[in-house]
Structure 1
């Protein structure tokens, strides 16, 4: 795991100052404290920060090919590099190192841009071909590893693993994209289709970019996609056996490392499954870690301890106080862009704990998206049945009217929060899902915006892109489309961004075996009844893991990391909330209606309503604007 950066002149191959690229890399020293390097040629410079994981001393970067024709900088891990090495050596390739970086170079020289389809892993890399004078950029299938791009005023393209690498370049403009503000308020993160800064983009997951001096900037080419359009047939026992084989392969391939390796263990289905399969494969006790809270209602460490005992892991747990808001400024610095997933705080704490004993940690991320594990998937499945029975002409007026008058009951138990379901049923399947995963609904956003900001936003609405994505998905059902949207929008924008930034902030490599693309493709082909059944998601996966895990783990209610932000904004963060409405950087932008926002803040502090998610969202936006020097 590393950080990469570079500059490429699209027109005239002007000289590039190596110090400029070195500064971009130094802004990401946390991603690679073990080594650094910069290479330049006419019109191009590549930089690298290294976190040594495989072939600790033998794979410095930037790395040239044996014939000197190509130069590579690479962030990530290729899990099938040994198999590829054997295949490439049989065709005449020579290798000087024992790592995976040189395998990418050889694959490029053998297959060109098609090499990416042969790589199994997480990656973002750049290869400069000195003879063809081309720069090839590629990002892995699911977007585990990030890559930011920005055209600059001198005719060059700058790229880096994090936005902070681009911010280190003096020619980068820091103009906020108002459409990114709309996106952020809708989703709680800036999706991969946009950046907080105008002109900055992100190479989409499963895409590549081939640049040539003197040629126009091309559009990224999609080299991988997941399809829900086909349905796998077969007996349940056979599908179970195939799933278990894929999970075993995914876990074992991610256990290759020349440094200490362990796993995050929350005691949920996904992390417990990963630890169970690691224990099956390992000859030594698996190193596991978990974070708990000193409030019983928020604490899951008992479940983690149960799994640790069952599989005799070398387990470490640490309790943290729910009043762990001191790291807010640290979070804003990690993410660069505003990021409102409050679970980033406990995720950072578990990464810090893991880094005390390991350099690589396996996580359970990805199974919910692949196997329909979220409550919203179960709801989507049920709501689509209602939609199939009632035409839109009836649903729209009836459920819309009921949703409008039904009280908003954030305080109530989840089954009684019917308002969101009624509003979801008012629209079609895609519209309902967009509402279910949204952070701040469109009617609330519109009420918060100032008149000037509405003009800046124009006709754009954050939901439009998601609706287009879902309606154009290779899929058969509403559940298919919902999961497709999760894999393409939510996963890279929220979950993987959170894990990448919090783990790399402490120089820890996180690996996600349940995001192995073969496992994702298998899950996408399953009939809906193998994903959702009896009000439960991940049906086949849970059935498969019953031979390893007790029902108490497999079928308990999903919890996840909980952060008590509602209490914070009525206590230690109350003044910060008031400053958002008047005096803070966000207030000075004039984007929001100050009087309306003040009312929202005071309603929450007085306990008349729960606006904690919105206030957390606005606080993180304010912190990001301050760090970017925008206001």
Structure 2
């Protein structure tokens, strides 16, 4: 922990501008004005530091605790793209960086493709510089496969590549990882995670974080990194960022479809909405989809992005105890999202960014900085391996800011430029495959593995005694809902289980 007296009259930047939150930066200010800094929030707290009820609510909402809040009252985390300003009586946050999209009007695809490939190779070359073998995560998707291929381009030899598989229908992507490994001459290390692995590792992984963290793909990431460490690897290259910089998430196409509704003449909308939004209309099959479309399309961004939020769909009052809800602002997450949406448009030059670009920048904060980067950072730290993110290199970020919108989302084709620029480099099967990632078959496994079911059940029943989550909801979740839709309700079981496992190791006696 660094001890930093507050200076007067000058701006102190704790680190270079960090658009993606690659480094965790936390701080706490004492009553005498002394500022303490550390990478981990729990380094700035002790067993007497109260937990922040609002942070716990936001964990259930976002499945992580978005900065600047942390689970510890009085301890804050510097958000991505921000810095601490020490001018004045106490430190405050200010924007250090915001995206400035400048889409090129006249572009040559061939020239951009060559520039993109050159930047990718140079980024990977910088990331593998130093001692030790060049190694990477390899899920078999476009991002990790590109990193594996660029390692060969940059070093002249195949990477050590580490993949995770699952013995579960619809979850295993190992065939694509093996395809990429053969194509790029990788030394391929594959490991199949079992439910027994989860039972053994869930408490360790949950407790390793400085605050509750609910991204379930942290377990596959940890096992990848653990296998790499066992193979003598000291640094892994991760492929995170390709979707968020180049338009690869399915929700971008979905939101474009909803955006078309704004072009419908207002008089026609005023006729459609009373008809399609009246109670009971969703029970009419021919009108159900139209009603759902209008219901979502009329909600402005960014609120529209949370219409399928798990906590909201299950019902806040159904999930949480009244005594806990009295301590929190249930509109806090909505306000947080609106502030991030404002930040995503704050770097505009002559014209505001398009809704697509603004949504990408919004995801840089929530998907990358608050979820995926902490996931990889935590998993690799626990395994004892360093990590680098060549896709998030500053030169590649700047390159993405200049790409035209239709190079990112061409009609409804996701990240069109990225895929076409790498056609002939990546195998066509990987370019054309559906998006997947390191999805964990936790819900289906719960139904058939007694040890995993026991761990989850014991965790949730213990959580139900803390005055935060309703025991009746927990009982219904485990006895009824999980069997109805294990993939959907399994996510909620995971979120609650990881929260309780964190409590047991950090604050076992905590109650509302």
Q: In which range does the TM-score fall when normalised by the shorter chain?
A: 0.7 to 0.9
Which one scores higher on RCO, CA 8 angstroms, separation ≥ 6? 2
1:155-166 correspondence to structure 2 within 5 Å:
155-166=33-44
Partner of 1:146: 24
Partner of 2:439: 562
1:253-272 correspondence to structure 2 within 5 Å:
253-272=126-145
Partner of 1:199: 74
Contact kept in structure 2, 1:403 and 1:423, CA below 8 Å:
no
SS of match in other structure, 1:611 = helix
SS of match in other structure, 2:326 = helix
Residue 613 of structure 1, aligned match among 491, 503, 509: 491
Partner of 2:183: 310
Q: Indicate whether 1:462 and 2:336 are aligned.
A: no
Contact kept in structure 2, 1:246 and 1:519, CA below 8 Å:
yes
Partner of 1:480: 357
Report the RMSD for the aligned CA atoms in angstroms.
Answer: 3.1
Residue 627 of structure 1, aligned match among 499, 505, 509: 505
Partner of 1:432: 304
Structure 1 pair 406/372, CA: closer, same or farther in 2 (3 Å)?
Answer: farther
Unmatched 5+ stretches in structure 2: 346-351
SS of match in other structure, 1:336 = coil
Q: Indicate whether 1:506 and 2:380 are aligned.
A: no
The structure with the greater share of residues assigned to strand is 1
Q: Indicate whether 1:338 and 2:212 are aligned.
A: yes
Task: Tell me how far apart the structure 1 counterparts of residues 378 and 227 of structure 2 sit (CA, whole Å).
Answer: 15
Partner of 1:128: none
Contact kept in structure 1, 2:321 and 2:470, CA below 8 Å:
yes
Task: Tell me how far apart the structure 2 counterparts of residues 418 and 534 of structure 1 sit (CA, whole Å).
Answer: 21
Q: CA deviation at 1:146?
A: 0.8
1:476-530 Cα deviation digits (max 9, x unpaired): 3322221111012221100000000101112211111111122123223322210
Q: Indicate whether 1:354 and 2:232 are aligned.
A: no
Q: Indicate whether 1:8 and 2:13 are aligned.
A: no
Structure 1 pair 398/434, CA: closer, same or farther in 2 (3 Å)?
Answer: farther
Residue 250 of structure 1, aligned match among 119, 123, 127: 123
Contact kept in structure 1, 2:410 and 2:416, CA below 8 Å:
yes
Task: Tell me how far apart the structure 1 counterparts of residues 137 and 280 of structure 2 sit (CA, whole Å).
Answer: 40
The structure with the greater share of residues assigned to helix is 2
Unmatched 5+ stretches in structure 1: 13-111, 114-133, 408-415
Q: What is the number of equivalent residue pairs in this alignment?
A: 492
Partner of 2:348: none
Q: CA deviation at 1:185?
A: 1.4
1:68-96 Cα deviation digits (max 9, x unpaired): xxxxxxxxxxxxxxxxxxxxxxxxxxxxx
1:180-202 Cα deviation digits (max 9, x unpaired): 12211111111123111111111
Using the size of structure 1 for normalisation, the TM-score is 0.71
Contact kept in structure 1, 2:81 and 2:95, CA below 8 Å:
yes
1:227-248 Cα deviation digits (max 9, x unpaired): 2364453122222222222222
Contact kept in structure 2, 1:424 and 1:433, CA below 8 Å:
no
Task: Tell me how far apart the structure 2 counterparts of residues 344 and 403 of structure 1 sit (CA, whole Å).
Answer: 41
Task: Tell me how far apart the structure 2 counterparts of residues 507 and 404 of structure 1 sit (CA, whole Å).
Answer: 56
Task: Tell me how far apart the structure 2 counterparts of residues 464 and 353 of structure 1 sit (CA, whole Å).
Answer: 41
Task: Tell me how far apart the structure 1 counterparts of residues 495 and 164 of structure 2 sit (CA, whole Å).
Answer: 24
Task: Tell me how far apart the structure 1 counterparts of residues 195 and 171 of structure 2 sit (CA, whole Å).
Answer: 9
Q: CA deviation at 1:347?
A: 0.7
1:380-419 correspondence to structure 2 within 5 Å:
380-389=255-264, 391=266, 405=282
Contact kept in structure 2, 1:261 and 1:359, CA below 8 Å:
no
1:27-42 correspondence to structure 2 within 5 Å:
none
Structure 1 pair 335/439, CA: closer, same or farther in 2 (3 Å)?
Answer: farther
Task: Tell me how far apart the structure 2 counterparts of residues 240 and 430 of structure 1 sit (CA, whole Å).
Answer: 32
Structure 1 pair 518/451, CA: closer, same or farther in 2 (3 Å)?
Answer: same
Deviates more, 1:601-610 or 1:350-359: 601-610
Q: CA deviation at 1:589?
A: 2.8
SS of match in other structure, 1:547 = coil
Deviates more, 1:605-614 or 1:282-291: 605-614
Task: Tell me how far apart the structure 2 counterparts of residues 267 and 575 of structure 1 sit (CA, whole Å).
Answer: 33
Q: CA deviation at 1:10?
A: 4.0
Structure 1 pair 292/220, CA: closer, same or farther in 2 (3 Å)?
Answer: same
1:101-153 Cα deviation digits (max 9, x unpaired): xxxxxxxxxxx97xxxxxxxxxxxxxxxxxxxx78555633211111212245
Task: Tell me how far apart the structure 2 counterparts of residues 555 and 493 of structure 1 sit (CA, whole Å).
Answer: 29
1:4-83 correspondence to structure 2 within 5 Å:
5-10=1-6
Contact kept in structure 2, 1:294 and 1:322, CA below 8 Å:
no
Using the size of structure 2 for normalisation, the TM-score is 0.87
Structure 1 pair 397/217, CA: closer, same or farther in 2 (3 Å)?
Answer: farther
Partner of 1:328: 202
Task: Tell me how far apart the structure 1 counterparts of residues 483 and 159 of structure 2 sit (CA, whole Å).
Answer: 48
